[in-house]
Structure 1
Amino acid sequence: MTQSAAAAPQECIFCAIARYEAEASTVYEDETVVAFMDRYPVTPGHLLVVPRRHVVGLEDLDGVTGGHVWAVAQDLARALRRSSFRPGGMNLNVCDGEAAFQTVFHFHLHVMPRYTGDGWPVESLPKTLDRDRQRLDSDAHEVKAASARPAGGHPSGA
């Protein structure tokens, strides 16, 4: 964890928004999440879905909350498509950690409406690595070995 989950809430802007101590243009809220317009949008309609409880990144996010964040984001993406924004597409994005360009260390899911020629290029990933099947199988084994989730099951084994 790059930031202290215990210390961060006092100075965390997303925690302040969740506690109604900072301004936000709220789109949706319930006891688990709050969704609001991004203060620095990359496209019109860009919003964030944020857990109310302070969690820094994916590793700190429990499955129930994570699933709810995703479900709310999906509903809001659907609403954006029906709204006057009329996007031609949608990007959902999580930046987890400094190397992934996370700047606010409170987990958040970006819901970004996309428009033809919107000036925010996201190109397909470059094919810089060419892995043979043996190396891919080895990589898969490494991830499986580190995972708390058994193959084909849930973390609890249920």
Structure 2
Amino acid sequence: MENKNLVDDCLFCKIIRGEVPSYTVFENDDVKAFLDISQVNPGHTLMIPKKHITNLFDYTKEDVQRYLQYIPEIANAIKKAFPNVTGMNITTNNGKSANQVVMHSHIHFIPRFKGDGLKLMTRNNADQYDEAKYNEVADKIKAQF
């Protein structure tokens, strides 16, 4: 059965259709989860909706309920598969400037192990903010709801 919610030139849509092989760890009518080819750490898995959605900015509330409900189930399966997991980064890159490479929504599950040496880059700019600046930023966001 052809899925009309997929596009022709998307790598992840091709994986869903079986045109490109993957190391699938979980699949149902809603999502497919498979090993990330980079394997940042053993068990690094991607979960994708079986509907072409570019990234989280394009999700409807219905999409969230349908596709993201599987995050805990997949995370727990990875944790159980690797008993020495001490944590897990569950991330998504949304847009090219956020390092999204495949323009089909996907969630990364990156198992963390004691001493794995993996560093996710963040920075602390708290010293550049005072109460007025925090309120200004918060108010800009609040005004969008």
C-alpha contact (below 8 Å) 2:54/2:104 kept by paired residues: yes
Helix, strand or coil: the match of 1:120? Answer: coil
Aligned-pair Cα RMSD in Å? 1.8
**Runs of 4+ residues deviating >6 angstroms:** none
Aligned-pair identity in percent equals: 31
The worse-fitting range, judged by mean Cα deviation, of 58-67 and 133-142 is 58-67
> Counterpart of 1:122?
120
TM-score by length of 1: 0.79
Q: Which residue of the other structure, out of 54, 57, 65, is the alignment partner of 2:55?
A: 57
Q: Shift of the alpha carbon at 1:68?
A: 4.1
Taking structure 1 as reference, are residues 68 and 85 closer, same or farther at Cα in structure 2, changes over 3 Å only? farther
Letter in structure 1 aligned against 2:91: N
Deviation string, structure 1 residues 98-135 (Cα, Å, up to 9, x no partner): 11111111110000101122232125x32224322222
Give the 3 Å change call, closer, same or farther, for CA 68–92 of structure 1 in structure 2.
farther
Partner Cα distance (2:143, 2:109) in 1: 32
Change over 3 Å in CA distance of 1:13–1:85 after alignment to 2 = farther
Unaligned runs of 5+ in 2: 1-5
Task: Give 5+ residue unaligned stretches, structure 1.
Answer: 1-7, 148-158
Q: 1:84 to 1:59 in 2, by over 3 A?
A: closer
CA contact (8 A) 1:49 1:69 kept: no
Distance in 2 of aligned mates of 1:85 and 1:73: 18
Partner-residue secondary structure (3-state), 1:107: coil
